[in-house]
Structure 1
Amino acid sequence: MEVVVKAITRNPSLLTYDFHNKMKPVIATYNELGVSRKDLIPMLLSRPTLIPRTSLNDGKLDYIRKTGISKNSKMYKYVVILIAILRIETICEKLANFEKFGFSEDEVFGLFGRSPLILTLSIDKVQRNMTFILGTMKLPTSVVLGHPFLLFCNLEAVLKPRVLLARKIQDMALIPQIKGPAMLRALRMKEKRFVKAFVNCHPKDVAYELMKFYSSAKDVKRLAEAVKD
């Protein structure tokens, strides 16, 4: 009861749901699965629709088990809640989408367990990023399994321009190079830090040329959108 009162106090919209027939059973279900009441409060506040959208059956419970995630993991609550609120058809579609790129079912569920927010990514987003990662960057799927942040990267603002800049730097035989582990670190950097580390570290004339190239690579999408308009 305490968890509900706290949640309603901060988000009155929860009052639109029947407490005894809807809210209480859902909270009890999550508690039984090992999601504490303390963890439910912020979830209910950020996603009030969690109440009506929660649906768990044997198929979904099996999916949770397949992720291999421990109840002691900080990610456990996200795995349980995301699988609970997604339609089973949607989960199957997301699973099949990854399998198209060569991932096994076990690898995909393991990925969901380590980085559950991947379940919130659209199929199109995953397809575009994976196509670029495998086709242009020439990275194996194992790298994505170890570095799931690649799936969240903005393709047009981060992945493409930074990879293109890395090739430009390589063509100009400049140091430092952006390849191997350095590429993964570079993709995770904030923009200011990235520019400082790989552009502004060079003499002014070289830095100007690199920045012009980098800015141009980032503006390709804007130009394409302008043409469409």
Structure 2
Amino acid sequence: MKPALQRANVSQLEFKLSLLTPLGITSSDLVKIVTCRPKFFSSRIHLVLDERINYFIDILGSKEVLRRAIIRNPSLMLYDLDDKIKPAIEFYKGLGFSQEDLVAMLMSRPTVIPRTSFNKGKLEYIQKTGVTRDSKMFKYVAAIIGVTRMETIQEKVANLEKFGLSEEEIWCLCGKCPILLTLSVEKVQRNMTFVVATMKLAARSVLKHPFLLLANLETQIRPRVDLVKRVFEMGMKPLVEDVSIATALRMSEKRFLKVYVMCHQEDVVEELMEFYEKAKSVKRLGVESKKYVRKGFPF
């Protein structure tokens, strides 16, 4: 048994369980909750738990959805209801988010709501993207800016400005591809440096091709650029001529190999595949130990 649960007040524990049981939470669910948040039952959630449950049932539409949301993120029962949860949800509603959007957000990205904070500065950032409320992209833009600290946003904008992009261009880019605001400064620096220094493309190329910033440099961009260069150095031609490098980078792996590798003689194919596999296996120092998990917003 978890130490925090052993120290829990028995009467309070019984009261909390009596409120959670009608939601359909099983003993198996309780194990998951305590494993995820060991101090869940020793916290003072009993003070407003019934109010919180009723509020979330109203927002999510059913007890079953709330049960699944609690299992996904037990802290929904711990966050400050009046100072954190309600203001964030009301703000999202004011921005045009539907109940369906809020349910999807809480189920897919359960920490988004409590991490959300809006102020005048963030609303100005949303306006600078040029994305209007009737646009399908608006929810993505608003949610990503809402959960990102002002200092972090400023740092990421300044990072792109170093490469000669104007603030207006950067915000327009974020409006078209808001997921860029979730990328680390280091990743953007490395991709931009490669685009400008190695690919010899103008920095503004990313405005038309945001993929150049999103794609993995080690496993996709660099190996493909090197392979295309190798094909031309060998005096060979791709299956489809006049294909831009940006288009080549966007191709599926099967299509890319068909255009640049499989269209040649067997001995050339073997040589190019060996070269390509070797290029993809070269990892930056320290990358092996990192795990990248990116989840998109569920709208």
Q: For residue 134 of structure 2, what is the aligned residue in structure 1?
A: 72
Please point out which of 111, 132, 152 is paired with 2:214.
Answer: 152
The aligned residue for residue 96 of structure 1 is: 158
Gaps of 5+ in 2: 1-54, 290-299
Corresponding residue number in structure 2 for 1:125: 187
Residue 10 of structure 1: aligned partner: 68
* Distance in structure 1 (CA, Å) of the matches to 2:175 and 2:248: 25
Are the equivalent residues in 1 in contact too, given 2:68–2:107 (CA < 8 A)? yes
- TM alignment of 1:186-225, pairs within 5 A: 186-221=248-283
With the length of structure 1 as denominator, give the TM-score of the two structures: 0.90
Relative to structure 1, the CA distance from residue 15 to residue 5 in structure 2 (aligned partners, 3 Å threshold; closer, same or farther) is farther
Find the counterpart in structure 2 of residue 25 from structure 1. 87
Give 1:212 deviation, angstroms: 1.4
Distance 1:144 1:129, change over 3 A: same
How many matched pairs? 226
Report the alpha carbon displacement of residue 190 of structure 1 after superposing the two structures with TM.
2.3
Q: Distance in 1 between matches of 2:101 and 2:124?
A: 22
* One-letter amino acid of the counterpart of residue 165, structure 2: F
Greater mean alpha carbon deviation, residues 9-18 or residues 97-106: 9-18
Q: Deviation at 1:193? A: 2.6
Q: For structure 1, which runs of at least 5 residues remain unmatched after alignment?
A: none
Paired letter, 1:85: V
Task: Go from structure 1 to structure 2 and tell me whether the alpha carbon gap of 1:37 and 1:136 turns closer, same or farther (over 3 Å shift).
Answer: same
Matched residues in 2 for 1:148 and 1:177: separation?
26
Shift of 1:182: 3.2
Aligned-pair distance for 1:81?
A: 1.0
Q: What aligned pairs does 1:29-40 form with structure 2 within 5 A after superposition?
A: 29-40=91-102
Shift of 1:195: 1.6
Q: Offset at 1:42?
A: 1.4
Q: Residues 99 and 182 from structure 1, CA distance in 2 versus in 1: closer, same or farther, beyond 3 angstroms?
A: same
Question: What residue is the counterpart of 2:227 in the other structure?
Answer: 165
Letter in 2 for 1:24: K
Distance verdict in 2 for CA 1:146–1:204, change over 3 Å: same
How high is the sequence identity, in percent, across the aligned residues? 51
Which one has the largest radius of gyration? 2
- Output the CA distance in 2 between the equivalents of 1:180 and 1:128: 27
Tell me: CA distance 1:30–1:225, structure 2 relative to 1, closer, same or farther (3 Å): closer
Report the counterpart of residue 135 of structure 1 in structure 2: 197
Alignment correspondent of 2:108: 46
Q: Measure, in 2, the Cα distance between the counterparts of 1:59 and 1:18.
A: 24
Alpha-carbon spacing, 1:145–1:98, altered in 2? closer, same or farther (3 Å): same
Answer with 96-105 or 11-20: which moved more: 11-20
Change (3 A) 1:120 1:180: farther
Which of the residues 161, 169, 176 maps onto 1:107? 169
Q: Does the CA contact (< 8 Å) of 1:166 and 1:179 recur in 2?
A: no
TM-score scaled by length of structure 2: 0.70
How far apart are the structure 2 equivalents of 1:53 and 1:179?
Answer: 49
Q: 2:232 aligned with 1:176, yes or no?
A: no
Q: Which moved more, 1:133-142 or 1:30-39?
A: 30-39
